[in-house]
């Protein structure tokens, strides 16, 4: 056996202590995770962006290395650059000092896109990482994260010629949705067709399904492996995750999936001081487990998957996108748009500094929506469905699954 263990997101935001159990990975396993946040000091200022700027305490990194020997981490995600170039440099330095091996971000685009090569139990493994386009994408002479673009397919094909196994770790998809969009499924399947053996996806913060596609495995999202539970009180599903164990010597064998949850050792303490640990809730998840079936069955049913994505996209539009984009298409939205216009006018006259910052922040938010393929696809799906361009694939079954797995309002507007 040549073991590979896949984790989801590692994001111990606001924590000062971890109490991690002995690793569940087999001895000698290569362990791959998404390091969702930069690890740097609080003295660094955050960069302007839409959404929160997150960071972790570098003092926690040795605990991660001790819990998962052989840990490699992708930094290609939408938070790595929250504290700019200085935050990235500090993260790379701290991660390497703790004995972890990072990839997917660097001082230039070439460095960010470079594969990580690992000799593991007689196999030469090639790992690539990329992220949907949010913030902090690297350029030829600019630090940042590796963007997800068509060149990734060429990089997979090239790495295939020099590697025994190719693993692609990619950040994207719809947040809080337990199903990928049809377009995201096609994208990840294309990586297998190009020569990848394993596709390790992340970003939704909840657990998604997996499938054997041709000769490879696609894991659409393993959830939040390690988080601060206090920050996710309203989303219990985001405190749970899958953990995957694969045998790289026999990839046709079904993976072993276990279920885990982030919990506070002392729930009564403040989030900053209470140690957080991981609890295994199921050491071997059965393929016919209802939670698994609800996630995996749509992957083999294109009409069902499209209907579920429509359910998700419309719910996002109604609960979040519409108010932020201000289409003025309902009485309530017209009133809110009028009120915002009056408020903006008052700021422009009496507090021009705040008005300029507000304009910048709104512009960055719109960049955030339309630069990322996930957000743009969700908006297009909702509008196309609402206005009759797209056929409606929603059914009583999709409504029932959406009612079970999607919160009524995915994001607060």
For residue 323, list its beta bridge partners: none
Rounded Cα–Cα distance for residues 35 and 387 (Å): 39
> Each residue of 21-54: b (16+ CB within 10 Å) or e?
eebbbeeebbbbbbbbbbbbeeebeebebbeebb
In order of 209, 255, 259, the CA distances from 292 in angstroms are 7, 13, 11
Phi/psi at 174 (5° precision): -85, 125
The token pair at 130 is: 């990329």
* 8 A C-beta contact, residue 110 and residue 120: no
Contacts of residue 61, defined as CB under 8 A and 6 or more positions apart, other chains included, come to 39, 94, 95, 97, 98, 100
- Return the sign of the alpha-carbon dihedral for residues 289, 212, 104, 29: positive
**pLDDT beneath 70: ranges in the chain:** 22-24, 265-274, 409-413
* CATH architecture observed for domain 3-296: 4-Layer Sandwich (3.60)
The CA radius of gyration of the chain, in Å to the nearest whole number, is 21
* 8 A C-beta contact, residue 75 and residue 105: yes
Contacts of residue 387, defined as CB under 8 A and 6 or more positions apart, other chains included, come to none
Among 34, 28, 27, smallest CA distance to 123 is for 28
> Each residue of 183-221: b (16+ CB within 10 Å) or e?
ebbebbbbbbebbbbbbbbbbbbbbbbbbebeebbbbbb
Q: What is the structure's pLDDT at 270?
A: 45
Rounded Cα–Cα distance for residues 202 and 48 (Å): 24
- Return the sign of the alpha-carbon dihedral for residues 237, 240, 241, 242: negative
Q: What is the structure's pLDDT at 10?
A: 97
The token pair at 218 is: 């696609």
Q: Where are the domains positioned within the chain?
A: 3-296, 304-405
pLDDT, one tens digit per residue, over 251-288 is: 999 999 999 999 986 555 445 556 788 999 999 999 99
Strand 276-282 to 165-171 pairing:
unpaired
In order of 99, 238, 369, the CA distances from 198 in angstroms are 24, 23, 29
The token pair at 255 is: 């993976």
Rounded Cα–Cα distance for residues 364 and 47 (Å): 11
Strand 276-282 to 3-11 pairing:
unpaired
The token pair at 229 is: 């539970």
């Amino acid at each position: 056996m040549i073991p590979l263990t896949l984790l989801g997101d590692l994001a111990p935001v606001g924590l000062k202590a971890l109490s991690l159990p002995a690793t569940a990975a087999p001895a000698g396993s290569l362990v791959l995770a998404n390091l969702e946040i930069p690890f740097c000091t609080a003295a660094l200022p955050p960069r302007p962006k839409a959404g929160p700027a997150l960071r972790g305490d570098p003092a926690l990194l040795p605990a991660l290395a001790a819990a998962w020997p052989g840990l490699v981490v992708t930094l290609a995600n939408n938070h790595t650059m929250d504290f700019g170039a200085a935050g990235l440099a500090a993260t790379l330095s701290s991660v390497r000092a703790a004995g972890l091996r990072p990839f997917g971000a660097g001082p230039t685009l070439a460095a960010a896109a470079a594969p990580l090569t690992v000799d593991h139990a007689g196999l030469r493994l090639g790992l690539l990482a990329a992220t949907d386009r949010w913030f902090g994408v690297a350029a030829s002479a600019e630090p940042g994260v590796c963007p997800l673009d068509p060149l990734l397919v060429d990089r997979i094909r090239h790495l295939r010629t020099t590697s025994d196994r190719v693993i692609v770790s990619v950040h994207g998809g719809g947040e809080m949705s337990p199903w990928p969009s049809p377009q995201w499924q096609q994208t990840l399947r294309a990586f297998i067709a190009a020569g990848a053996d394993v596709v390790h996806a992340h970003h939704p913060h909840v657990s998604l399904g997996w499938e054997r596609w041709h000769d490879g495995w696609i894991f659409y999202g393993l959830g939040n492996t390690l988080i601060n539970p206090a920050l996710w009180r309203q989303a219990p599903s985001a405190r749970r995750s899958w953990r995957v164990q694969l045998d790289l010597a026999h990839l046709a064998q079904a993976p072993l999936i276990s279920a885990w949850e982030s919990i506070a050792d002392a729930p009564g303490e403040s989030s900053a001081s209470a140690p957080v640990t991981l609890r295994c809730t199921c050491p071997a998840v059965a393929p016919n487990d209802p939670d698994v079936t609800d996630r995996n069955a749509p992957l083999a049913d294109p009409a069902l998957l499209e209907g579920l994505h429509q359910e998700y996209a419309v719910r996002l539009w109604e609960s979040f996108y519409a108010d932020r984009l201000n289409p003025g298409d309902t009485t309530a939205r017209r009133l809110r748009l009028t009120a915002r216009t009056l408020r903006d006018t008052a700021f422009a006259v009496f507090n021009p500094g705040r008005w300029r910052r507000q304009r910048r922040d709104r512009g960055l938010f719109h960049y955030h929506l339309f630069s990322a393929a996930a957000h743009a696809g969700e908006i297009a799906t909702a509008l196309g469905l609402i206005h009759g361009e797209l056929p409606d694939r929603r059914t009583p079954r999709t409504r029932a699954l959406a009612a079970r797995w999607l919160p009524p309002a995915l994001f607060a507007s």
